[in-house]
């Protein structure tokens, strides 16, 4: 193990996140570039990941885990279901997407990768399931369908903000109004 990295896997993922937001993203990523930026050897990379494609997939998973953890930490700060908890977790998701632009960029770059597509599908289904539980606790009609539609709106809001690189007050107000009208 190199002196620079106590955990080569973590170091490589952190380097990948930095590289993902640079011009060109990770599409043309090479192993020598990644290991140089991470300060680890190619042997350490080989011990941590099966291939560059595997690395990209694991990087996407890692970044999505970071965002999910931030959202769950926000939700945990509210005791009972209610619109306030629901809205604050939505804002936490949007803010986390802005703090971690590499995730959205990598998801876009990997939009044709079947493994990444399945990962994204599973994560969105997970968010919709949590949203459904919140809506059911609020005794809202059609919680499963509403949760799926709300999740799609939230993801679209995150994409819009990613494009500009900052929170979009107009989009957030519209999203708030939609959610408040249904769940508030």
The pLDDT value recorded for residue 87 is: 94
CA distances from 107 to 25, 97, 113, 126, 133 (A): 11, 12, 9, 17, 26
pLDDT at 4: 44
pTM: 0.87
Tokens of residue 155, six digits? 């993801």
**Tens digit of pLDDT per residue, the chain (184 long)?**
444 447 999 999 999 999 988 877 788 889 999 999 999 999 999 999 999 999 999 999 999 999 999 998 998 888 788 899 999 999 999 999 999 999 988 999 899 999 999 999 999 999 999 899 999 999 999 999 999 999 999 999 999 999 999 999 999 999 999 999 999 8
* Whole-number Å distance between alpha carbons of 184 and 82: 8
Interatomic CA distance for residues 177 and 9, integer angstroms:
42
Amino acid 47: pLDDT: 96
At 134, list the tokens. 């919140």
Q: How many CB atoms lie within 10 A of CB 169?
A: 8
């Amino acid at each position: 193990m190199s002196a620079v990295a106590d955990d080569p896997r973590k170091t490589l993922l952190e380097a990948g996140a930095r590289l993902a937001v640079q011009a060109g993203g990770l599409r043309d990523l090479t192993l020598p570039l990644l290991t140089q930026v991470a300060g680890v050897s190619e042997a350490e990379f080989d011990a941590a990941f099966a291939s560059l494609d595997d690395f990209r997939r694991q990087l996407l998973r890692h970044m999505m885990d970071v965002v999910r953890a931030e959202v769950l930490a926000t939700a945990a700060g509210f005791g009972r279901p209610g619109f306030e908890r629901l809205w604050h977790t939505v804002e936490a998701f949007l803010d986390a997407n802005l703090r971690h632009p590499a995730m959205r960029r990598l998801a876009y770059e990997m939009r044709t990768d079947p493994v990444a597509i399945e990962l994204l599908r599973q994560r969105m289904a997970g968010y919709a399931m949590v949203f459904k539980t919140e809506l059911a606790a609020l005794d809202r009609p059609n919680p499963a369908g509403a949760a799926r539609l709300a999740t799609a709106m939230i993801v679209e809001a995150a994409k819009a903000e990613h494009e500009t690189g900052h929170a979009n007050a107009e989009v957030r107000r519209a999203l708030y109004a939609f959610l408040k009208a249904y769940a508030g």
